[in-house]
Chains A and B, each alone.
Chain A
């Protein structure tokens, strides 16, 4: 019995480790830029091919979601979506989705663009990074496991962070 418990807890611990998995060096294959995934029409010749369910592996890894967060700012998604709060583009931290909230929907929003002003990033962002961004976008509205999601962005805090207030430059000191 003791042994069985021990074994079970070891297995559970091993399963939980995905959170800390980091794929730091990505293969060239994962860096290809792919096209859309979601079928835009129900009509198909012959018998409909079954839709495959998409699982975003990045959604289980804290490191990947954090990379998504970094890229969201680096690729200037923030310029239009303001760190998730919305601006030119809609807010991404609410539970209202025009084009769907599933990973494959958000993937396609990014890759194909959307007609009312969302640019198409197809061919401009490697695929593994798109999946990281998808995971981060979903984390904004609590759609990923809270144990892997990052905390709310600094830019969306009510108060300014203490350490970003001071300036050391000599010009500052000269002012009365």
Chain B
């Protein structure tokens, strides 16, 4: 119920020009169809009352002619309204497709079953920022999202910023958008993609340019070497167990790309593709057995010794 009136995942609370155009269209459709609906109900009620009063059907020429005239008018009105709506829809379609591709930044988003890989393109390879399940955008900047998929078709939907766009394997889709209101919005996969499709979301954080640049610079750094003995033990647990087969932590020997990049895990707000707050308890639970939280998730359970698990989490907490 709370979600029904939520503003952080709603096309009716636009935070950018394209979403605003879509919202306008929504209200036009809603107003016109609401008026027609009410008129229809009134007409229906009148017809029922008239019919109930009358004993016999009126089959005179006069009555037939007036009925036919009414139907002709109603049909023409319907056609005109539908064509009118069609043109408003086409006009909105034009409004939300940019005529030029002047953008300040390209961000590649790759869909995976059931999480999002996010990569900030940069000419120099060592400047590329790699993260997951969280998209940061500078307010007021026009950015281009390049959409691809690693497995099946997914669909990106950030209702507060734009419409939906599919992520198709081997085919670069493009979504250009501008966010002009700071805030945190929620995006959701909008194309059924398997067992955990419903739990494939992420947060979009629109922030002032200075904050964004600070975030980007921090994300470029490799993970720091752990300080305490406990954290160092945790790093050893990570590097010697299954984690390295799927995850990368820059600055260590873990470089696999099957699962989300964990280099700055602790700086992210959620776990498991936007489904859990990133807290100590949730992190323990997720690592011990993510299957109990997101059944079928492509991360196996990890039967670790309790002290190894604690050390591992202590290490992951240092990945700011």
| Interfacial residues, chain A to chain B (CB-CB below 8 A) | 24-29, 31-33, 74-76, 121, 123-126, 128-129, 163-164, 166-170
Contacts and interface: CB of A to CB of B under 8 A. Distances in A.
B301 interface: yes
Interface in B223-264: 240-242, 244-246, 256, 258
Contact of A28 (B246, B289, B295): B289
Q: Is the interface of A mostly helix, strand, loop or mixed?
A: loop
A163 B245 contact: no
Given A26-B291, A74-B258, A168 B173 contact: yes
A92 B258 CA distance: 23
Contact of A123 (B240, B246, B300): B240
Nearest to A76: B256
B101 A170 contact: yes
Contact of B245 (A31, A125, A167, A170): A125
B171 A166 contact: yes
Nearest to B258: A74
A170 B174 contact: yes
A31 B171 contact: no
B201 to A, nearest CB: 21
A125 B301 CA distance: 11
A167 B303 contact: no
B173 A126 contact: no
B174 A31 contact: no
Contact of B300 (A121, A129, A163): A129
B242 A125 contact: yes
Contact of A24 (B246, B256, B295): B295
A123 B240 CA distance: 8
B139 interface: no
B236 to A, nearest CB: 13
Nearest to A169: B172
A31 B301 contact: yes
Contact of A168 (B172, B258, B300): B172
A126 B174 contact: no
B242 A33 contact: yes
Given A31-B302, A31-B303, A163 B244 contact: no
B296 A123 contact: no
B179 interface: no
Contact of A27 (B146, B169, B242, B301): B301
Report, nearest first, the 3 A-B pairs whose CB atoms are least far apart. Answer: A164-B170, A28-B303, A28-B301
A131 B221 CA distance: 38
B171 A167 contact: yes
Contacts of B172: 167-169
Contacts of B256: 76
A74 B257 CA distance: 8
A169 B174 contact: yes
Contact of A31 (B146, B296, B300): B300
Contacts of B291: 25-26
A33 B258 CA distance: 19
B195 interface: yes
Given A24-B296, A29-B303, A124-B241, 9 more contacts: A27-B301, A32-B303, A75-B245, A124-B242, A124-B244, A124-B245, A168-B173, A169-B174, A170-B101
A126 B246 contact: no
29 contacts: A24-B195, A24-B295, A24-B296, A25-B291, A26-B291, A26-B301, A28-B288, A28-B289, A28-B301, A28-B302, A31-B301, A31-B302, A74-B246, A76-B256, A123-B242, A124-B241, A124-B242, A124-B244, A126-B300, A126-B301, A163-B171, A164-B170, A166-B171, A167-B171, A168-B171, A168-B172, A169-B146, A169-B174, A170-B174
